Amino acid sequence: MTRKITRRQLLRTAGLGAGAVALGALPAAAAPEAGLLRGGGRALLGGSAGRGVLSLARVWPADADQWAALWSFDDTHARFDDGSVELLLWPGDLPRLDALGIRYRVTLPDLLAHEASLREAARGRRAVAVDVPGTGTTYRKLDAVSPVEALAGVTSYYGDLRALADAHPDMVQLFELPETSLEGRTVYGIEVCSDVAREDGRPVFYMDGLHHAREWPSGEFTIMFAYELVTGYGKDSRITELMDSVRTVLVPVQNPDGFTRSRDALTSYLSAHTPLDTPLLVSEQEYHRKNTRSHSGAPHPPLETGAGIDTNRNYGFQWGGDGSSGSPTSQTYRGPEPFSEPEARNVRALLSRLHAVTLNSNHTHGRLLLRPPGARTFGAFPDEEILTELGDAQAAHNGYRSIFSYELYDTTGTTMDWGYGAHGSLAYTYEHATSFHPDYPGYIAEAWTDGGVRESFLVLAEAAANPAWHGVLRGRLTDASGAPLPGRVSVEKTFEIPLWKDGDASNPAGIPALTEEHTSEMVTDADGSFVFHVNPSRRPFEPDEGVPYTVTVTAEDGRSASRTVHVGRGDVANLGEVAVS
Ligand SMILES: [Zn+2]
């Protein structure tokens, strides 16, 4: 079926694509791990014995069993040469470490107090004026900014996205993702390129941030790239060429509910003026990682410990596997079904309308540049040579360790693996910084410039235009006599995505596979010619040649014609004249 509406209209108005598997409502909350879940504010604030603030610890696992036992703890991604790893200890974790017999040392007994002292120390420092586009005085908030905050230079993602689109209508287009978040917040993205309203077939670079609520730099760097592009266009030849040749699509805040909970934690406390158990209350919220899905039955209790689903374990490719948890209060809880969460469904819907040749999902921390696959059991993915070459090329600028994602630890159900596994995108996960949200003035601008984050993003964005790394469909729309006609071109494909070990205990929903529909559109030139830069028609794990694309050209008067075509990475498929009748 040919769609008669544009890609952008789809993004504004559509629910999930027609090919999306209809997933049922979230089942009744699964039983939480005993003792870890405290529902509602009262119990949380009661100050029961044995609870404490959040701490950091270094842990020396001695054998495979001890490594395996660490799955259920909150890993910060910090690795040390002596084989130790850093964990963020939540209330109740210390006795669990003791019970496991793992050697550990608490390195920071009170994380929040430590950060408060850093903030205090920074207060006296004069804010250094930096000439970096899109930077301010502190981390952005999601949307609303109070008059007092505005005076202090605080801005918001949504305010800044709107302002960018208003100021640069020729280069920036704001769009809404199809679904609101669990708490009803709109999720926004922007498309940035020259002549952005033209629906052409330029290759796409996709990037997002803030899957994980506490990882504040991940959203900052995502939106800063938009400022870099619009500021440099027409002035910097490299940026100008990028803007003319690649469409950049950015979603700075994938998880607005979790981010709001984390970013506003301190403000919420200070405005409450009540004698609460301050450090626990604030740090539990500020270090929240997941979305805010309740496991206690209440709609969205803001103070429920362990609330949420890890939206970066909720994607469908090999969902349910190693490195994701089936336990609701776990920090890596994957959810009851693939794509159970609107935040992950949004990215799925967006990517199913694009050909994102290159893709990056931003996170903190660890100074790592991770490439697929997420789980060790897969070994290397089919495009390993390109993935390594391109990963190393980015890391050469920011000094991050360029490694297989599983070398950090196993993951499944991530954006990165979905991008590669479902679409063949050259997909990466960045782990910026050395803590989840470092002091803003001491980190963001310098990491962007001297630290090489800007440069590494440019390398990945430019790689989308590399003809060796994607496919090209070209041709010309004509009438029966060969006279050129302007019109639209759609490229469609339906295919299957494997889940983890189909049907075993890790896949309790018993879903054998996901059926995905990929549909993208462009408008031809006035003379009917088209050049559509696409991902390979053969998805990475499809057998044989894979399912071909169906390319449909439709003239303005509604006459159409279709062709099926295979196109590989680095191939140009020339359809020649495609006559409608
Ligand atoms: Zn993360």
The more confidently predicted of residues 344 and 307 is 344
Query: Cα dist. 114→107, 243, 286, 443 in Å?
Result: 11, 43, 14, 17
- CA of 269 relative to ligand 1 center, distance in Å: 25
Interatomic CA distance for residues 155 and 141, integer angstroms: 6
Largest separation between any pair of C-alpha atoms in the chain: 85
How many Å apart are CA 426 and CA 383, to the nearest integer?
8
Q: Which residues surround ligand 1, an ion (CB under 5 A)?
A: 212, 215, 363
- The answer to whether 398 touches 392, Cβ cutoff 8 Å, is no
Å from CA of 481 to ligand 1 middle: 56
| Residue range 415-441: mean pLDDT, rounded | 96
Decide if pLDDT at 337 tops 50. Answer: yes
Q: What is the pLDDT of residue 47?
A: 30
* C-alpha 191 to ligand 1 mean position (Å): 23
CB count in 10 Å sphere of residue 45: 17
What's the pLDDT tens digit per position in 380-391? Answer: 999 999 999 999
156 CA from centroid of ligand 1 (Å)? 21
Can you name the residues that pair with 257 across neighbouring β-strands? none
Output the CA–CA distances (angstroms, integers) from residue 488 to 194, 349, 561, in the order listed: 20, 21, 11
pLDDT per residue as tens digits for the range 174-228: 999 999 999 999 999 999 999 999 999 999 999 999 999 999 999 999 999 999 9
101-123 mean pLDDT: 83
Q: What are phi and psi of 562, to 5 degrees?
A: -125, 155
Q: Is the pLDDT of residue 16 over 50?
A: no
Cα 435 to ligand 1 centre (Å): 11
pLDDT of residue 130: 66
| Centroid of ligand 1 to alpha carbon of 551 (angstroms) | 37
Q: In 3-state terms, what secondary structure has residue 555? A: strand
363 by Cβ neighbours in 10 Å (0-12 / 13-18 / 19+) ranks as: buried
Its pTM stands at: 0.88
Distance CA 63, CA 70 (A): 11
Name the average pLDDT for the chain: 86
Average pLDDT over residues 266-277: 53
pLDDT score of 567 more than 80: yes
CA of residue 363 to ligand 1 center, whole Å: 4
DSSP letter, residue 129: P
pLDDT in tens, 84-102: 999 999 888 999 999 999 9
Lookup result for tokens 């040649």: 545
Report the alpha-carbon distance of residue 467 to residue 536 in Å, rounded. Answer: 12
User: How far is the C-alpha of 277 from the C-alpha of 529, rounded, in Å?
Assistant: 66
> Taking 70 as the threshold, does the pLDDT of residue 259 lie above it?
yes
Distance 364 CA to ligand 1 centre (A): 6
Which of 553, 564, 368 is CA-nearest to residue 475? Answer: 553
**Distance of alpha carbon 556 from alpha carbon 550, whole angstroms:** 19
pLDDT of residue 503: 46
CB contact burial 214-235 (16+ within 10 A = b; e otherwise)? bbbbbbbbbbbbbbbbbebbee
| Radius of gyration (C-alpha) of the chain in whole angstroms | 24
Which of the residue ranges 34-38, 269-273, 419-423, 567-571 would you say has the lowest mean pLDDT?
A: 34-38
Average pLDDT score over residue span 35-55: 38
Distance 374 CA to ligand 1 centre (A): 13
Distance 325 CA to ligand 1 centre (A): 15
| Closest of 342, 414, 340, 402 to residue 374, by C-alpha | 414
Spacing, Cα 251 to ligand 1 middle (Å): 15
Give the residue-averaged pLDDT of 46-53.
40
Residue 498: what pLDDT? 85
pLDDT at position 10: 43
Q: How remote is the CA of residue 388 from the centroid of ligand 1, in Å? A: 21
CA distance 580 to 276: 71
Report pLDDT for 116. Answer: 75
Q: What is the pLDDT of residues 126-136, one digit of tens each?
A: 455 568 999 99
The neighbour count for residue 379, using CB atoms within 10 Å, is 10
How far apart are the CA of 413 and the centre of ligand 1, in A? 13
Q: Please name the helix (run of DSSP H) or strand (run of DSSP E) that holds residue 328, with its range, or none.
A: none
Lowest mean pLDDT among 9-18, 322-331, 549-558: 9-18
Distance 211 CA to ligand 1 centre (A): 7
| Å from CA of 215 to ligand 1 middle | 6
* pLDDT (average), residues 294-319: 84
End-to-end CA distance of the chain: 17
Q: Per-residue confidence at 416, pLDDT binned at 50, 70, 90?
A: very high
Confidence of residue 472 (pLDDT cuts 50, 70, 90): very high
Q: Would residue 77 be called left, alpha or beta, if left means φ above 0 and alpha means ψ between -120 and 50 degrees?
A: left
Query: What's the gap in Å between 206 CA and the centre of ligand 1?
Result: 17
How crowded is residue 102: how many other Cβ atoms within 10 Å of its Cβ?
21
Distance 338 CA to ligand 1 centre (A): 18
* Residues forming beta bridges with residue 516, ordered by sequence position: 495
Which two tokens mark 444?
Answer: 């963001």
Write out the H or E segment, with its range, that includes residue 428.
strand 426-432
